[in-house]
Amino acid sequence: MVGSGILKGLAETARNFVGSYASEERMTTVEYPEEKLPRIEASRNFPFLVFDGDDWHAGMRCVSCQICEKECPPKCIYIEKSTDKKPDAVGKLQNYPARFDIDISVCMSCQICVEVCPFDAIKMDNAFEYFATDRFGDLVLDKQKLSRSNEYYHQIHPTEAANVDAELAAARAKAAPKPAAPAAAAAAPAVAKPAAAPEVTASTANKPAANDPAKESNG
Amino acid sequence: MASMNTGIVEQADQIFVVLKGAVVSHLPTILQPLVSAIISVIAVVAVFAGLFALTTVFERKGLGRMQNRLGPNRVGPFGFFQPAADGIKSLTKEDLVPRAADKIVHFLAPVVLVAASFLGYAVLPVGRNMVVTNLDAGVLYFFAAGSMVELGVFMAGWSSHSKYSLLGAMRAVAQMISYEVPLVLASISVIMTAGSLSTVDIVAKQAQYTGTIAHWYVFTPWGFAGFILFMIAATAESNRCPFDLPEGESEIIAGYFIEYSGFKFALFFAGEYLGMLATSALAITLFLGGWSAPFSFLAWVPSWIWFFAKLLTLIFCFIWVRGTLPRLRMDQLMGLAWKFMLPMTILNLFVAAAWRFVPGGLPVRWFVCAAMLVIPFALLSRGLRSEKKLQTRTYRFAE
Amino acid sequence: MTILFLILAVLAIVGASAAMAFRSAVHAILALALAFVSLAILYLSLDAQFVGFTQIIVYVGAVAILAVFAIMMTRSDSAHHHTEVFSKSWLTGLVLAGGVFTVLAWAVLGDKTQHAAADAPAPVTTVTQIGEALMQRYAFPLEIMGLLLTAALIGAVVLAMPLLSNKSGAKSVTKGDAR
Amino acid sequence: MSATATLPPAAMLLDSEEGSQYLEISMGPHHPSTHGVFRMNVVLDGETVIKLKPVFGYLHRNHEKIAENETYLGSMPYTDRLDYFCSLTNNWGYALAVEKLAGIEVPERAEYIRVITAELTRLQNHASLVGFLMQDMGASGTPLMYAFREREKILDLFEALTGARMMCNYMRFGGCRCDLPAGWLDWAKKVVASFPKFLDEFETLLVGNEIIMARTQGVGVLSRELAISAGITGPMLRASGVNYDLRKVDKYGIYDRFSFRVPLGDHGDVYDRYMMRLLEMRESLKILEQAMKDIPEGPFTDPKTKVRNFRPKPGEAYGRIEAPKGELGYYLISDGSPNPYRYRVRPPSLINLTVLEDMCLGRNVADVVITLGSVDIVLGEVDR
């Protein structure tokens, strides 16, 4: 009979109407500012620079090798090498970025800078609640604004960060016995990295409920 | 005890009538009819404008729930002050008038539309003794007021000097003219049976009871079919989904009121909802016994509560249909009006006549009249199937 | 009553004159609709509800809309099309108008009841009475009107028929509709 | 008749031979139903379409030229932005082309991951396509909301796996960027298991609906011959009755290991095209179940392939896959440098769109809208 399909459709919407009051499965809405979903560990937004310890400048892992600058597909990274040197994460004297800017209005969050970085210095943040009042100045982040502590990194990507720490510890152990031999120390992270990079992400355990969403506002 | 009970019931039922009478009686006799009329008009305008606001929230929340969303819930408790926010927004928005537009007609169109939409409420009895004016030709008056809406729609579409609004106006006017015919024909069956064009009389005829069941016309086969046909035509008449082609946003964006912004847009919006409320109210008056209770043991509930309960139920049906169905195409819409609705309403007219003349007890009459309606419909379904129209298909698969 | 009558009469006359004076066809029709509505309210003020409402339904709801529809379909900008007010057809129009006026005046003056009815309250005519009159006394004229309308309908269909078959023929040769 | 796309709106009326006038309307680029910034200049006789001229390019982003100046890896995130609904299949197509060019072997586990992600992509693409089609038909968003409710679950899976919901940038030459996270597979199995319930509901709501049948049956018919000669691919081609599915024809990846069927339509109208999507979702579910059962342990990427300084030897290659919208191909010429000498995308959306006028002539405006909706285009891919 003509019209039976329409009646079936009406029954279906009625079922959903009632179901939206009764079943969690149907009413999946999360009322955002009040409720927040647990952050997914693997999720990425914009890059940040990791530093060890308390002083962002002293502990910065970046040695301004400029690989990320070259590999960045939209070319949103700008780096100037320093003229002097400071010890890097492994303890070896290295250059550091005199300037490290990321234009996040250009950045497309592709994570390629993270993949190519041999020093585990740049990682992806997953904070998404950014705002800016200036279209130009506020969206170019300098190295201070980009710096996040290793603890913060542990907070947002615990599994990944643990692996990175283990590798760095190994590299430090390698480098520590003979700090006078810079060639060996320089080789250590560079060699370790290509093999290790997949492994880092490989074991990214995923537990969506693992993170505490309350701690992540990052204005 | 019993008399006291009925007294309270009576008071609750007539509370608004008594209140108005109390106010009016303090005035000099010359002013009384005028003030009485003004109070009635203000009451109707206020109540139905409020109902329009409420309907917009209900619609958005209801649609949201059907789509597994929450709907508006930010303004006020459960989002019920949303219309206030919408109203303020539309009032503060810039009122754009296209440079090429016919300024005067462009301005008059929403005014004509809303004014015409409000006119129809004058003859709708919203409760026992609660009607603005009891006209001898009330139903006719309602349709006369409704036909003015078309003029407003045309004025809006033409004066905007936009291609989309012209297309929308053409669609809207064609659709409203076409569906006015089945709308009127469906109500004629009721007029014929009731023997009156007065809405008050029609409701009074239905407010009688056999046993406990009311004499609503929807409880008869022709009344039921007439009610369905009337509601289909009313949906088309008020440009609601699935007949919302005049404003079909995926095709012609917003149709005839595309060039309106701010409060004028809100007026068009109000016009659509007021039209929907008015035709629903007429359907209640004609088929669902107006303010009367369906069962005699429920007659203690005040009559105006019955009316508004029925109105909200019908509004929910409108929302429900909107949440389910996509819209028809223009030629299909016209085909439906002239090839299905018109024959069916005329047939229904015959059935309504037959209902009066078929002798015998209730079951025989019921059976004969129902058969007269169901058999043609079944034949139509079969015809469509044999033509392989409107049929699901089976598909082949390649391994 | 007289004030109401005056207002409505002025509105009707202004509407009718404006309908003639406006250059834009749409404005003319809207003015005509105004005249129709004023006339309808005039009927209502004379307690002729049925005629009044029918006036609105038929003249505003159907005649004006039909004219409007024709304009929308063609949409020729008549506003730019200047014609002289005093043209050759003006004389014909005047003769026709005079003729119509004479007939109407004759009918009004010839009506014996008008003076008597002026003072007495207008008889209340219910819809039932109109229906009975139409179905009994005036059944034959009604049938003839029906026949006339049917003939008009058939004529319209006949006129539209070749257009329709052309359209469908044109459709079948378009590329996308091969099946 | 001199209807040109560049006419200003004032010149909207064109004289026809019979003395009546045609109306030229510009649907888009700001129009609620044009699926992005797509514009159709439509000439109407009443509401009948007598000419339709698609105008593309509002979203042109120089994709191919950018890729020729990027490293091979650097183009990968840009492919996400072609058909932004199906970034994972875009990734796969590009990876496949580069793998062909450089002769890279893909480990088995990576192949399985690719199949799983690609079929999940197909599910969410088809579900939302049907939703959008109904939206174009005026269904007030209900089917679209149901589709988005399910799409959301799949996007969550994507986010957990790749880090992003839409711009996944996940596949790499010789495999994938990372392995499946712990627990991901079980989660995905749960999502896939709940999907048929949604499909049942969807079909109850839509398939028998008389209004949808009236609107779609016999509308926008694409004949088999025209479909073949215009190079149409994907569900749109199969709706016209041509048995051509690259998963069966090329058997790229490991598609020869799964048993699934390819639905075929007989009429080639909008109804068939939308039914193809519904039926293909069922088949995708079958593939997903098999793939999730059989997925082996092992490396997820080819360890020999370098991430940086990737220079394939000179040569050319064409890699193509069955993307949800049709055949998505990437043509690459390498001159031995780190960036391709020539990079060319064969976008299914653009090529499927070329027959739009043929499908719409003689129909109504309303039919144009749903015919366009049934083609399934994403302007990011059309304009590149």
Name the strand (E) or helix (H) holding D41.
strand D39-45
Burial class (CB in 10 A: 0-12, 13-18, 19+), B381: middle
- Find the closest chain D residue to C178 by CA distance: D223
Distance in angstroms (rounded) separating the CA atoms of residues C75 and D21: 9
The total number of structural domains that make up chain A = 1
Ranges under pLDDT 70 in chain D: 1-21, 32-34
CB contact under 8 A, A8 and D208: yes
Inter-CA distances, B318 with B235, B244, B277, C140, Å: 8, 12, 10, 44
Strand spans (E) along chain B:
209-210, 213-214, 396-398
Please tell me the predicted confidence (pLDDT) of residue C177: 36
Instruction: State the pLDDT at residue C75.
Output: 55
Looking at CA atoms only, how far is residue B330 from chain A in angstroms?
19
C-alpha–C-alpha distance, residues A188 and B349, integer Å: 94
- For D222-273, how does the pLDDT look when each residue is reduced to its tens digit (9 = 90+)? 888 899 999 899 899 999 988 888 888 888 888 888 888 899 988 888 999 9
Across chain C, mean pLDDT equals 76
Q: At a CB cut-off of 8 Å and minimum separation 6, what does D331 contact? A: D97, D316, D317, D318, D342, D343, D344, D345, D346
Residue among B102, B150, B157 whose CB faces C65 most closely: B150
Specify the residue for token string 């309350």.
A214
Report, as an integer, the average pLDDT of B90-95. Answer: 86
Q: In what order do the strands lie in the sheet with D21-27?
A: D13-15, D21-27, D39-45, D48-55
C75/B166 CB distance under 8 A: yes
pTM for this model (two decimals): 0.81
Q: What does pLDDT average to over chain B?
A: 83
B contact chains, 3+ CB pairs < 8 A:
A, C, D
Query: Which chain D residue lies closest to B166 (C-alpha atoms)?
Result: D23
CATH number at residue A135: 3.30.70.3270
Q: How far apart are CA A29 and CA A22, in angstroms?
A: 13
The residue among D309 and C117 whose pLDDT is bigger is D309
Chain C contact for D250, CB < 8 A? no
Distances (CA, A) of D199 to B392, D127, D203, D282: 16, 9, 6, 8
Tokens at D164, concatenated: 């992003």
Chain A contact set for B67 (CB, 8 A)? 16
Q: What is the pLDDT of residue D122?
A: 92
Is the dihedral angle over the CA atoms A13, A14, A17, A21 positive or is it negative? negative
Closest CA to B337 of B190, B199, B232: B232
CB count in 10 Å sphere of residue B145: 23
The domains of chain B are located at: 15-92, 95-380
The amino acid sitting at C139 is A
Distance of CA D56 to the CA centre of its chain: 17
Q: Looking at the predicted structure, is the pLDDT value of residue C78 above 50?
A: no
* Average pLDDT of span A56-83: 86
Answer whether residue C148 shows pLDDT above 90.
yes
The whole-number pLDDT of residue D34 equals 67
- Inter-chain CB proximity B67 and D264 less than 8 Å: no
Please return the burial class of D297, using the count of CB atoms within 10 Å of its CB with bins 0-12, 13-18 and 19+.
Answer: exposed
B9, pLDDT greater than 80: no
What's the rounded Cα separation, in Å, for the pair B232 and B183?
Answer: 8
Surface-to-core class of residue B379, CB atoms within 10 Å of its CB (0-12 exposed, 13-18 middle, 19+ buried) = exposed
Residue A181 lies in a domain: no
Q: What was the pLDDT predicted at A188?
A: 44
- How far apart (Å, rounded) are the C-alpha atoms in residues A142 and A134? 15
Specify the pLDDT at position B129: 77
What is the Cα–Cα distance from D341 to D101, expressed in whole angstroms? 12
pLDDT band, very low/low/confident/very high, at C100 (cuts 50, 70, 90) = very high
Which SS3 state, helix, strand or coil, does residue D156 take?
A: helix
The band of C1, judged by pLDDT with boundaries at 50, 70 and 90, is low
What local confidence, expressed as pLDDT, does residue C124 receive? 64
Q: What is the mean pLDDT of residues B189-199?
A: 84
Subunits with 3+ Cβ pairs within 8 Å of C are B, D
CA distances from B28 to B25, B35, B36, B329, C24 (A): 8, 10, 12, 58, 50
Interhelix angle B221-237/B262-286, nearest 10 degrees: 170
Query: How confident is the model at residue B173, as a pLDDT?
Result: 83
**CA atoms within 13 Å, Cβ hemisphere of B149:** 31
Q: Please tell me the predicted confidence (pLDDT) of residue B204.
A: 84
Is D362 within 8 Å of C178 when comparing Cβ atoms? no
User: Which of D23, D45, D50, D223 should we substitute to test contact with C (largest number of C Cβ atoms within 10 Å)?
Assistant: D223
D358:C179 CB<8 A: no
A:19-78 residues touching chain B, CB 8 A cutoff:
19-21, 26-29, 31
D63-383 under CATH 1.20.120.50, yes or no: no
Cβ distance of B169 and C72 shorter than 8 Å: yes
In 3D space, the residue among B244, B241, B264, B266 whose CA is nearest the CA of residue B255 turns out to be: B244
Among chain D residues, CA nearest to C77? D13
Residue A178's pLDDT band (boundaries 50, 70, 90)? low
Looking at residues B92-98, what average pLDDT do you find? 84
Q: Is residue A32 part of a domain?
A: no
ipTM above 0.90, yes or no: no
Full domain range(s) for residue A107: 55-173
Cβ-nearest to C175 among D21, D220, D358? D358
CA–CA separation, B344 vs A145, rounded Å? 73
The token pair at D351 is 């090529």
Q: How far apart are CA A149 and CA A52, in angstroms?
A: 6
Residues in chain C, overall count:
179
Which residues is D41 bridged to in the sheet?
D26, D53
pLDDT interval class at B151 (50, 70, 90): confident
Of D220, D223, D357, the CB nearest to C178: D223
- The closest alpha carbon to B231, from B274, B186, B261, B176, belongs to B186
Tell me, what's the pLDDT at C133?
85
In D310-369, the residues whose Cβ lies within 8 Å of chain A are: none
Residue C137 distance to chain D (closest CA, Å): 46
| CA separation for the pair B120, D195 (Å, rounded) | 49
pLDDT confidence tier of residue B358, bands split at 50, 70 and 90? confident
d(C-alpha D339, C-alpha A73), whole Å: 12
Give burial (CB, 10 Å; 0-12/13-18/19+) of D225. Answer: exposed
Q: Which of B324, B379, B392 to mutate to test the interface with A (most CBs of A within 10 A)?
A: B324
B60-74, B372-386, D357-371: range with lowest mean pLDDT? B372-386
What span, in angstroms and rounded, lies between the C-alpha atoms of C107 and C112?
10
D 252-311: CB under 8 A from A: 300-301, 303, 306-308
Q: Which of residues 252-281 of D touch C (CB under 8 A)?
A: 267-268
Examine the pLDDT at B300 and tell me if it is beyond 50. yes
Q: Which of D222, D223, D361 has the CB atom closest to C174's CB atom? A: D361
Domain locations along chain D: 11-55, 63-383
Q: Do A202 and D162 touch (CB under 8 A)?
A: no
Quick one: closest CA in A to B379, which residue? A1
Q: Do C127 and B180 touch (CB under 8 A)?
A: no
DSSP string, D189-216: HHHHHHHHHHHHHHHHHHTT-HHHHHHH
Considering only CB atoms, D163 lies closest to which of A42, A67, A202, namely: A42
Output the pLDDT for position C116: 54
Query: Do C and A touch, counting CB pairs below 8 Å (3 needed)?
Result: no
pLDDT category at C144 given cuts 50, 70, 90 is: very high
Interchain contact, D361 vs C179, CB within 8 Å: no
Provide the percentage of residues in chain A whose pLDDT is more than 90. Answer: 0
- Using the Cβ of C3 and the Cβ atoms of chain B, whether some distance falls under 8 Å is answered with no
Binary contact (B62, A12; C-beta < 8 A): no
* Residues 6+ away with beta carbon under 8 Å from D325: D83, D86, D125, D234, D235, D348, D349, D352, D376, D377, D378, D381
Q: Residue C164: pLDDT above 70?
A: no
What does the block give as tokens for D66? 């950018």
Count of other CB atoms within 10 angstroms of residue D261: 17
Could you tell me the maximum CA-CA distance found in chain B, to the nearest angstrom?
Answer: 90
pLDDT for residue D117: 92
Query: Which candidate, B287, B239, B271, places its Cα nearest to that of B119?
Result: B271
Given a contact cutoff of 8 angstroms between Cβ atoms, the answer to whether A159 and A84 are in contact is no
Per-residue model confidence (pLDDT) at position C176: 36
Give the nearest partner residue to B151 out of C27, C64, C126, using CB atoms: C64
Subunit contact D223:C179, Cβ cutoff 8 A: yes
Q: Which two tokens stand for residue A81?
A: 């090498």
